[in-house]
Amino acid sequence: MSTSPIHVVGGGLAGSEAAWQIAQAGVPVILHEMRPVRGTDAHKTEGLAELVCSNSFRSDDSTSNAVGQLHWEMRRLDSLIMAKGDAHQVPAGGALAVDRDGFSQAVTAALEAHPLVTIARGEIAGLPPAEWDKVIIATGPLTSPALAEGIKSLTGESELAFFDAIAPIVHFDSIDMDTAWFQSRYDKPGPGGTGADYINCPLDRDQYEAFIDALLAAEKTEFKEWEGTPYFDGCLPIEVMAERGRETLRWGPMKPVGLTNKHNPTVKAYAVVQLRQDNALGTLFNMSGFQTKLKYGEQASIFRMIPGLQNAEFARLGGIHRNTYLNSPKLLDPTLRLKSDPRLRFAGQITGCEGYVESAAIGLLTGRLAAAERLGRELELPPATTALGALVNHITGGHIVTIDEGPRSFQPMNINFGLFPHIEGVASHGPDGKRLKGPAKSVARKQALTARAKSALDGWISGTQARAAE
């Protein structure tokens, strides 16, 4: 009896990788791509896996960079995107950058040549037909409106966003807790809280005025014409609030009320920046209400003006973009299937990851999961200590959902070391016997995390192969 095909909707980074993984597992796949029949506002060609903006897959350093580690894992898992990226790389120092046309043409050619892949050019303009029993939706940040409407009919209006509103995220261990302190406003515990859930950074009047001056003077990123201006109440960028009046932020996200500085209880702060826990591991904290369109280069230096954040390391900088994505921690099961309709699985940026490589990585995983299901095999998820496992955990459950006013707390995320579980036993001394400090200590930790990830991935691959052979 022939195996019935899995349908993949969207031939971008995630869909192309998913289709490849399914076909390589011996399962037929139909890849539906709407271009060139219908375009998007950002794509320019009809090639699969088109890179819509930069041509970089970012750092290729798999010993001390999280995205480099993800590259390594994907190469170990026969990734089409990585193979064609490697084959079409252009010089870019420690980064992997690619010739975008050569790369996209090579991905397209490999899929066209695969005997188990059929490419169907046309829009899926609504929910996939009921007779398709296994579908991966990988239609990306610019999912066509008709399909988005269909998805919304299953998820509810508020669970599919059309813009992100990203506040910067800081690595906890880079916050100066001799200046900042834990406390919730009025010590209110709130749902699931302790009364000391936020990290508070105090500013005096001069520091606040200097911060506002810097915000007003900073360069902002413009929206593209087709994006429109998606501002709505509760989602104003901080620099727009500052433009509305110098005191606006002090009455908004920086209001100093209900808080007592533990380090200096008799002096009332003039303004306070609050950060709240972002992931279950407690390694990442987001700057509450600080969504922004400031240029990346400006953000780090301006936010380091805030007392307590002078040495802040950012896991993610802020941004606001046109971006269709699900409230995945609520809607998806751990294997990225829609809880309310498990025949539909999601992959790529629509799940709430961010970036070419991360989108392809989630495509890789969903392709393998769907193919294993079709073959009646069980596929365990990769361990949380791998980059792949850390990323998928963030999407489906690692993020802490808050119910404050303002934009939804689950926002797109690149892979970063803050998503990896804590590691014990990192070398504290260098080969010269001297105690490691500052950057050297941080590099030692990153190297320990990537070494652990590599061995966990190898263990997972051998376990998977052994089970398949049974």
DSSP 86-130: HHTEE--TTEEEE-HHHHHHHHHHHHHH-TTEEEEES---SSPPT
Beta carbon of residue 184, minimum distance to ligand FAD (angstroms, whole number): 34
CB 276 within 8 A of CB 185: no
Please identify which residue in 46, 78, 101, 123 interacts with ligand FAD, judged by CB under 6 A: 123
Q: Which CB sits closer to ligand FAD, 225 or 405? A: 225
> Which of the 8 DSSP states describes residue 369?
H
Please identify which residue in 28, 43, 255, 313 interacts with ligand FAD, judged by CB under 6 A: 43
Per-residue burial over 136-161, b if 16 or more Cβ lie within 10 Å, else e, is bbbbbbbbbeebbebbeeebeeebbb
Interface segment toward ligand FAD; rule CB under 6 A; list 32-40, 175-183, 257-265, 428-436:
32-40
Beta carbon of residue 261, minimum distance to ligand FAD (angstroms, whole number): 40
Q: Which of residues 310-349 bind ligand FAD (CB under 6 A)?
A: 348-349
Beta carbon of residue 424, minimum distance to ligand FAD (angstroms, whole number): 32
Q: Which CB sits closer to ligand FAD, 9 or 249? A: 9
Using CB under 6 A as the binding rule, whether residue 454 contacts ligand FAD is answered as no
Q: Which of residues 137-156 bind ligand FAD (CB under 6 A)?
A: 138-144, 147
Using CB under 6 A as the binding rule, whether residue 166 contacts ligand FAD is answered as no
Q: Which CB sits closer to ligand FAD, 123 or 313? A: 123
Vertex 348 angle, CA 381 and 283, to 5°: 65
Q: Torsions phi, psi of 68, nearest 5?
A: -60, -40
**Number of residues located near ligand FAD, criterion CB under 6 A:** 33
Using CB under 6 A as the binding rule, whether residue 356 contacts ligand FAD is answered as yes
List, in order, residues 6 or more apart from 425 with CB less than 8 Å away.
448
Q: Which CB sits closer to ligand FAD, 306 or 326? A: 326
List, in order, residues 6 or more apart from 414 with CB less than 8 Å away.
67, 316, 353, 354, 355, 358
Beta carbon of residue 11, minimum distance to ligand FAD (angstroms, whole number): 5
Using CB under 6 A as the binding rule, whether residue 103 contacts ligand FAD is answered as no
Using CB under 6 A as the binding rule, whether residue 11 contacts ligand FAD is answered as yes
Residue by residue, what is the 3-state secondary structure of 199-264? EEEEECHHHHHHHHHHHHHCCECCCCHHHCCCCCCCCCCHHHHHHHCCCHHHHCCCCCCCCCCCCC
Using CB under 6 A as the binding rule, whether residue 35 contacts ligand FAD is answered as yes
List, in order, residues 6 or more apart from 348 with CB less than 8 Å away.
10, 12, 13, 14, 15, 138, 139, 140, 359, 360, 362, 363
Q: Which CB sits closer to ligand FAD, 19 or 272? A: 19
List, in order, residues 6 or more apart from 95 with CB less than 8 Å away.
56, 57, 58, 59, 60
Using CB under 6 A as the binding rule, whether residue 42 contacts ligand FAD is answered as yes
Please identify which residue in 1, 53, 130, 403 interacts with ligand FAD, judged by CB under 6 A: 53
Beta carbon of residue 349, minimum distance to ligand FAD (angstroms, whole number): 4
Binding site for ligand FAD (CB under 6 A): 9-15, 32-35, 40, 42-43, 52-54, 123-124, 138-144, 147, 348-350, 355-356, 359
